[in-house]
Amino acid sequence: MINVLVIDDHSIIRKGIKQLFDDTPDIRVTGDAASGAEALSLLRENRYHVILLDISMPGENGLEVLKKIRGHHPDVPVVILSMYPEDQYAIRSLKSGAAGYLNKQGSLSQLTAAVRQVASGKKFISPETAMQLAENLTQRQNDLPHQLLSNREYQTLCLIASGKRLSEIAQIMSLSAKTVSVYRARLLEKMSLRTNAELVHYAITHQLVL
């Protein structure tokens, strides 16, 4: 039996994934957490074979939680589940140590395949992610300015580009508006941009807008 830990701040999502696996003979959700801190506590007390981790959570986002899990429990494979398309976070997630990346709009069969595959010690690469990896091989990482951003800066970039105000971004990221402004200033400097309009244009051009 493959024991799965689901980390997502939405209880409906956690319950939904649990129900999806109820009819699967070899997979069971034996733990669920609404935050990274709660997940790390469960990992200290229980044995899990696979972790399904949402990338978009208040406070610490999925990539930050992933880093902590990899630091404390490197033997447990993590599959990132996200509402964001593969071209936004797949490569970044895999480079951060994820065993796989899956869009939440994917099918149950794809999710089941991902869990089984990473539980066997392999990586799970969806066709969409494979395409992104292939494209990534044709260009150096430094060729695209947004690839130089930290995970927090990149999240700020995507939220600004999607039309969110700084106050809304602060609420989503569980940060102060002042801190978000610092991330905005840093990413503009790193990308040699001056205004939000230029940032949005860049994001649209590189298909970073959800």
Q: Which pLDDT tens digit goes with each residue over 17-35?
A: 999 999 899 999 999 999 9
Strands 50-54 and 78-82: parallel
The domain that holds 49 is classified in CATH as 3.40.50.2300
In-domain check, residue 14: yes
Residue 208 contacts residue 157 (beta carbons within 8 Å) = yes
Same domain (yes/no): 145, 132: no
Among 103, 120, 137, the domain-final residue is 137
CA-based torsion, 174, 178, 184, 189: positive or negative: negative
Residue 131 shares a structural domain with residue 156: no
Look at residue 96 and tell me whether its pLDDT is greater than 60. Answer: yes
Asked if residue 68 and residue 26 are part of one domain, the reply reads yes
Range of the domain at 169: 141-205
Predicted local confidence at residue 90, as pLDDT: 82
d(CA 196, CA 169): 14
Count of structural domains, the chain? 2
Q: Distance of CA 39 to CAs 8, 43, 49, 71, 118, Å? A: 10, 6, 14, 13, 19
175: tokens are: 């940060």
Residue 103 and residue 14 share a domain: yes
Please tell me the predicted confidence (pLDDT) of residue 59. 75
pLDDT value, residue 11: 93
- Pairwise CA distance, residues 64 & 58, whole Å: 11
Residue 51 and residue 67: Cα distance in Å, rounded? 13
The C-alpha R_g of the chain, in whole angstroms, comes to: 17
Give the containing element (helix H, strand E) for 117: helix 108-119
The pair of three-digit structure tokens given for residue 57, joined into one six-digit string = 């959570």
The per-residue pLDDT for 87 is 63
Residue closest to 27 by CA, chosen among 121, 98, 114 = 114
Q: Are 30 and 4 in contact (CB under 8 A)?
A: yes
Q: How far apart are CA 138 and CA 143, in angstroms?
A: 10
Does the global pTM surpass 0.95?
A: no
Please indicate, yes or no, whether residues 93 and 155 belong to a single structural domain of this protein.
no
**124-179 tens-digit pLDDT:** 988 777 776 776 666 555 567 888 888 889 889 989 988 899 999 998 888 899 99
Q: Does residue 80 fall inside a structural domain?
A: yes
Dist. CA 138–CA 13, nearest whole Å:
36
pLDDT digits (tens, 9 = 90+) for 32-87: 999 999 999 999 999 999 999 998 887 778 888 999 999 999 999 999 998 876 66
| Residue 210 domain-assigned (yes or no) | no
